[in-house]
Amino acid sequence: MKALRFEKNGLRIADIIEPRDRREASVRVLLAGICNTDLEIARGYAGFEGTLGHEFVGVVESAPDETLVNKRVVGEINAGCGACALCAAGDARHCPRRTVLGIVARDGAFAEYLQLPVENLLIVPDEISDERAVFTEPLAAAWGITERVKVTPETSVAVVGDGKLGLLCAQSLHHAGARVVLVGKHKEKLGIAERRGVETVQVDELQKSSRSFDVVVEASGAASGFALALELVRPRGRVVLKSTFHGATNFDAARIVVNELTIVGSRCGRFAPALELLKEEAIDVESLISETYQLANGVRAMERAAARGVLKVLLRP
Amino acid sequence: MKALRFEKNGLRIADIIEPRDRREASVRVLLAGICNTDLEIARGYAGFEGTLGHEFVGVVESAPDETLVNKRVVGEINAGCGACALCAAGDARHCPRRTVLGIVARDGAFAEYLQLPVENLLIVPDEISDERAVFTEPLAAAWGITERVKVTPETSVAVVGDGKLGLLCAQSLHHAGARVVLVGKHKEKLGIAERRGVETVQVDELQKSSRSFDVVVEASGAASGFALALELVRPRGRVVLKSTFHGATNFDAARIVVNELTIVGSRCGRFAPALELLKEEAIDVESLISETYQLANGVRAMERAAARGVLKVLLRP
């Protein structure tokens, strides 16, 4: 089968054997999405080699649980060892020996077929199109903030960064009831959130000194975004770190201590509430789709995904 | 009166006029303690010029509230503007226009007299000696962790750093009921916590990979201590930042996001519970006193406080 792989020599479309571990489900990929993490891996920052991709919707071809066969599914990307204390407590997401689809020791979704444990799969309701279902994983990650930080209608939130992740975070927190301001650089991108009722502001028009937020979400993926977040948050407020900068980043420890800030790292989220949000059409994800490519043109698709101004790029096997 | 001051030309004992603002209380200082923050200010890192010192016990000489006169007191160090939203909510500690005793725009405690608003003062119970009462401020800061992070007998805590602050933090969290391990470099210092029932370990004997703590308190004041804290904490655990490193510090943002850690900045604490702890003799503070100097020898005392192996140095006006 075809797969978009990152190996020592770089990114390429390879012909590889279909995965056939009968203890797991085999899923035929319908549509997959390119995430910034994929771009980081392709730059060699993450130490992963293999088939990329962790955002997908597909159809189960075979599975130990036969009731799943022919069902349309999405899948949680962390597969725990099943034996450690964290797995026993139901937290495979942090199992130290976990594999992660297209990220850690497990081939990913930019292929005709992928494999995952049956317990990772969730059936997609018919109301949700493939184009929307493929956003389940990133939307779960955005909605996951509400698991880590409670928000109410009184909570003022700034989201820093108007990329894919920032747009999902801003809409999610707005839907959760908070008073959200999305801070970005791109008028068209900010417009997507505005159409859903989110207040937006251009970063260079921001009156830093006059704003003071209960919660600031750093979703820009840049160290400068984190520095801005520390400026925007009120004393005793919370900064949510969504994006994994690569390498070490400067940070102002004194500001965190003196202002008694809380920095909350947030990575994955649960899929079930994300599917619910997609079913309700609570979040605009279609507007985030910039381009769709055939898997065979995956290398070009990755280049486009890294280009300025481009939001979500999809791959169709 | 005599005062130990930091000015452009450095640290010196000066003769200055007694403070006489009748809207505030005037306190004759009995004993004051040198804190690492004082050492940072004397290195020019904090931008403060004036009389140093914020840890003290004294006797009220005059006050708008006459019932306080002749009472032995300690004092909360932040004085708010009294007008802003934070002050109105009772949080002068984070008022953006606050003055801070010996730290921000207010002469401090290394002098014969100091001034504070009446509402900052707390009467010291007779059972607490001057030598113990002078630890109220740093003990409040250590105990303040329990305000920011709930601990139970099931909570495993590592405290990184066996200096003054680390010893107070370890004892406080142990007293609060957590399972505490103090990580340090100095056998004698670790011994102080051990005598109060705290488990200790030398940093070079620490099996990093085998330890995984719910909470790690960084009290070493070094960037390397923060890096160690990030290694010791379990996924979804909390790192408490107690110490203000100066300048920017490298940190591994990806580890915070991927392991979904929470970083909690913690600075000051409330004085009332600290006085209660001192009254109950719940915390050994006397063993932390290394040396006591006359205020006239304050410059020498500051040198000693900065020397390796020295814990708390006190000043007596």
* pLDDT for res A144: 95
Render each residue's pLDDT in chain B as its tens digit; 317 residues: 999 999 988 999 999 999 989 999 999 999 999 999 999 999 987 889 999 999 999 999 999 999 999 999 999 999 998 888 888 888 888 888 999 999 999 999 999 999 999 999 999 999 999 999 999 999 999 999 999 999 999 999 999 999 999 999 999 999 999 999 999 999 999 999 999 999 999 998 887 666 689 999 999 988 888 889 999 999 999 999 987 765 556 667 788 888 999 999 998 899 999 999 999 999 999 999 999 999 999 999 999 999 988 999 999 99
Q: Are residues B247 and B261 in the same domain?
A: yes
Among the ranges given (A167-171, A293-297, B202-206), the one the predictor scored with the smallest mean pLDDT:
B202-206
Q: Are residues A26 and A98 in the same domain?
A: yes
Rounded Cα distance between A241 and A218, Å, is 5
* pLDDT for res B248: 58
CATH number, domain at B154? 3.40.50.720
Higher pLDDT, A178 or A222: A178
Q: Is residue A47 predicted with pLDDT exceeding 60?
A: yes
For residue B231, what are the domain limits?
A: 145-265
Residue of A nearest to B244 (CA): A254
Average pLDDT (A138-159) is: 96
* pLDDT for res A194: 97
Q: What is the ipTM of this complex?
A: 0.84
Q: Are residues B216 and B153 in the same domain?
A: yes
Q: Are residues A199 and A300 in the same domain?
A: no
Which chain B residues are within 8 Å of A253, Cβ to Cβ? 223, 226, 241, 243-245, 248-249, 251
* pLDDT for res A45: 79
Q: Are residues B164 and B108 in the same domain?
A: no
Contact A256 B241 (CB under 8 A): yes
CATH number, domain at B22? 3.90.180.10
Which of B242, B265, B288 delimits the end of a domain? B265
Q: Considering chain A, what is the average pLDDT of its residues?
A: 93
Chain A interface, best mutation among B262, B266, B268, B270, by max A CB count within 10 A? B262
Helix/strand/coil (H/E/C) assignment for every residue in chain B: CEEEEEECCEEEEEECCCCCCCCCEEEEEEEEECCHHHHHHHCCCCCCCEECCCEEEEEEEECCCHHHCCCEEEECCEECCCCCHHHHCCCHHHCCCCEECCCECCCCCCECEEEECHHHEEECCCCCCHHHHCCHHHHHHHHCHHHHCCCCCCCEEEEECCCHHHHHHHHHHHHCCCEEEEEECCHHHHHHHHCCCCEEEEHHHCCHHHCCEEEEEECCCCHHHHHHHHHHEEEEEEEEECCCCCCCEEECHHHHHHCCCEEEECCCCCHHHHHHHHHCCCCCCHHHEEEEEEHHHHHHHHHHHCCCCCCEEEEEC
Q: Are residues A117 and A159 in the same domain?
A: no
Which of A249, A265, A281 delimits the end of a domain? A265
Q: What is the phi-psi region of residue A221: left when phi exceeds 0, alpha when psi lies from -120 to 50, beta otherwise?
A: left
CB A80 within 8 A of CB B235: no
Chain A interface, best mutation among B251, B261, B266, by max A CB count within 10 A? B251
* pLDDT for res A110: 98
Q: Are residues A102 and A170 in the same domain?
A: no
Instruction: Write b or e for each residue in A219-228: b if 16 or more Cβ atoms lie within 10 A of its Cβ, otherwise e.
Output: bbbebebbbb
Which chain A residues are within 8 Å of B91, Cβ to Cβ? 235-236
How many residues belong to chain B?
A: 317
* pLDDT for res B208: 66
**Number of domains chain B is built from:** 2
Contact A260 B94 (CB under 8 A): yes
Q: Considering only CA atoms, which of A30, A24, A35 is closest in space to residue A313?
A: A35
* pLDDT for res A210: 61
* pLDDT for res B224: 85
Rounded Cα distance between B143 and B269, Å, is 7
Chain B interface, best mutation among A36, A40, A257, A264, by max B CB count within 10 A? A257
Q: Are residues B149 and B292 in the same domain?
A: no
Average pLDDT (A206-229) is: 85
Q: Are residues A258 and A159 in the same domain?
A: yes
Q: Is residue A246 predicted with pLDDT exceeding 80?
A: no
Q: How far is A69 from chain B (nearest CA, A)?
A: 32
Which chain B residues are within 8 Å of A248, Cβ to Cβ? 250-253
CA atoms within 13 A on the CB side of A239: 31
Stated pTM of the model: 0.89
Q: Is residue A17 predicted with pLDDT exceeding 70?
A: yes
Q: Are residues A92 and A127 in the same domain?
A: yes
Q: Are residues A89 and A172 in the same domain?
A: no
CA atoms within 13 A on the CB side of A250: 8
Residue of A nearest to B92 (CA): A235
Q: Are residues A114 and A173 in the same domain?
A: no
Average pLDDT (A91-98) is: 87
